[in-house]
Amino acid sequence: MTSAARCLILACGNTLRSDDGIGPLLASWAEDRWRNDSRVRILCDHQWTPELAEEVAAAETVLFIDCSLEQGPGEILLRDLSPASLKPGLVTHHIGAAELLSLAQDLYGKRPRTAQLLTIGPDSIELGEGLSEPVKQALAVAQRMLITTVQCLLNQQPD
């Protein structure tokens, strides 16, 4: 059920698609890391769907985690995210992080005051379990970046 979180971590990916599993792996690690911290809520799905707009709208801050084909293998990128209108294409089963922010605003009249997107470049997203060597090597850096980012988001004061 939807509940307001100081920081919502929203990951996506498929552990049966090699490096596409980086999102779920980081989400699982984050579950353990913030298990006793009720300010942090972690959700993970194969894809981001329109239903998640309700969760996003309820959160004070949100950190999206995904793998990105636009980055080199193991390359990590953290960036601020702004709402975006829907790109042409299909919206039944998946929409992007920026579009989710926009949908949250349209449907619920609010969105997190800060939204960030952490992406990791894959070496392979073919069928298979386990991460490639470059992504495995990036995992520890991504985890440290996650800790720092979540801490910053939790320390933010409401407007």
Partner 1 sequence: MTQTITIDPVTRLEGHGKITIQLNAEGEVADAHFHVTQVRGFEKFSEGRPFYEMPALTARICGICPVSHLLASAKACEAIMSVRIPHTAAQLRRMLNLAQMVQSHALSFFHLSSPDLLLGMESDPAQRHIFGVAAARPDLGRAGIALRRFGQHIIELLGTKRIHTGWVIPGGVAEPLSAAKRDEMLAMMPEAYANIGLALAAYKQIADKFQQEISVFANFPTNYLGLVNEDDSIEFTDGALRLIDTKGNLIEDGITAQRFPEVIGEAVEPYSYTKFVYYKPLGYPEGSYRVGPLARLNIVKKMGTPKADQELAEFKQIAAGPVESSFFYHHARLVEVMYGIEKIEQILADPLILDKHVRATAGVNRLDGAGQIEAPRGTLNHHYRVDDNGKITWANLVVATGHNNNAMNRGVLQAAKCYVRDGKFTEGALNRVEAVIRTFDPCLSCSTHAYGQMPLQMTLLSADGEVVDRLVR
Binding residues vs partner 1 (CB under 8 A): 1-2, 46, 50-51, 53-54, 85-86, 88, 90-93, 99, 102-103, 106-109
Closer by beta carbon to partner 1, 7 or else 103:
103
At 123, the amino acid letter reads: D
Closer by beta carbon to partner 1, 103 or else 138:
103
What's the closest the beta carbon of residue 95 comes to partner 1, in angstroms?
A: 8
Closer by beta carbon to partner 1, 74 or else 96:
96
What's the closest the beta carbon of residue 78 comes to partner 1, in angstroms?
A: 26
Closer by beta carbon to partner 1, 49 or else 71:
49
Cα–Cα distances (Å) from 133 to 36, 52, 64, 80, 139, in that order, read 32, 32, 23, 28, 10
Cβ partners under 8 Å of residue 94, min gap 6: 47, 48, 49
What's the closest the beta carbon of residue 91 comes to partner 1, in angstroms?
A: 5
What's the closest the beta carbon of residue 46 comes to partner 1, in angstroms?
A: 8
Cβ partners under 8 Å of residue 21, min gap 6: 13, 14, 15, 129, 130, 131
Report phi then psi at 113, rounded to 5. -70, -25
